[in-house]
Chains A and B, each alone.
Chain A
């Protein structure tokens, strides 16, 4: 079970999450939905251990992998190097597999500056998947990616068998998930599909 209990996160005067609790099963695809600024990114960062809440408890697997809201690509590394950089030496042969998963195999030697917005997003996603966490925290994973391609990639991610918690504004993506957690105000409801 992935859980947060009574967490409060403030940035200066602004409270983003207040005494917020959540429990989700350690399996399948879970979507966080809600308007901008409702705390989706903050919650994912808390679960990734990058944001420490002012109070409350967080229970997550030991190796969560996060896809940041921004691509955070390195302009001086090629597409294949981005994947190889997060793989241990003995798994370097997997670069092609991860590029195929996000349909970027033809761009292996390209530099990030030559990629479109959607391609850059898919590269960042492939890097997160290749790192191999035991929980995938994906912040807007399909921004700029066309809906049919996003659906194909999401099906492949599901086949990896790793629990996924993603945030998305795209309804088509949210509808493909097993459960949806709206963050647009209390009381918190969990909708099982």
Chain B
């Protein structure tokens, strides 16, 4: 008997083989893929919404002084509010529990993309912008030829950072609001039924999905960065 864990070693820290065995056992069940797919869908939808809103807020604050006065303090408040407060508040206001992880993920992503895209816009080369004025490029052409390629590396870096945050916050939200099909719900159930190998197996699933999503996004941005019209 291990005196340090009072004989509950496997319960507190299961052997890797036990976790792998549970992962395989879970992976053959359709419910596993449904839960993983729904979590992936929710959190990615929240990530996409946050990315769009964060980028739009950054463009608005760069382009319009009144938008800057309103949005800058608002986004700073969003950035400072703890994720647990957001989860509880959104759970209180949201009509369905399934929406909560998506909204919480979006709120985590928004300030990161706002900061990064705003920095990218601010650091766009002024000499290239003067060139577009000299050659009388329209707004669309200036956006396509100068702003988008200049801001893309900042956007990509923001997405890489925000994706991890979205996953962590999204799964945490699922643990608290327990949607019917969700990784977070399965994590919570594994915890209350003391099925520690399941807890680890679901954690491994979250890590693998996060890694896959991050690699897919990296490949997409590399392709966009190398694209020649």
A74-B145, A74-B146, A74-B149 given; A131·B131 CB < 8 A: no
Q: Count the A residues whose beta carbon is within 8 Å of the partner chain — how many? A: 15
Q: Is the CB of A131 within 8 A of B145?
A: no
Q: Is the CB of A66 within 8 A of B134?
A: yes
A68-B127, A72-B127, A74-B145 given; A50·B229 CB < 8 A: no
Q: Is the CB of A78 within 8 A of B146?
A: no
The residue that B131 contacts in the complex, of A72, A76, A78, A81, with Cβ under 8 A, is A72
Q: List 18 A-B contacts (CB under 8 A).
A: A50-B133, A65-B135, A68-B127, A68-B131, A68-B134, A70-B127, A72-B131, A74-B128, A74-B146, A76-B225, A76-B228, A77-B145, A78-B228, A81-B228, A81-B229, A85-B141, A85-B145, A131-B135
Distance to closest chain B CB from A28 (angstroms): 23
Closest to A63 in B: B136
How many angstroms from the CA of A72 to the CA of B135 in the assembled complex? 12
Give the size category of B's interface with A.
10 to 19
Query: Footprint of A on B, CB under 8 Å?
Result: 127-128, 130-131, 133-135, 141, 145-146, 149, 225, 228-229
Closest to B152 in A: A76
Q: Is the CB of A76 within 8 A of B134?
A: no
Q: Mark A167-181, 1 if CB is under 8 A from B, else 0.
A: 000000000000000
Judged by a CB distance under 8 angstroms, whether A16 is at the interface is: no
Chain B residues whose C-beta falls within 8 Å of the C-beta of A86 in the assembled complex? 135
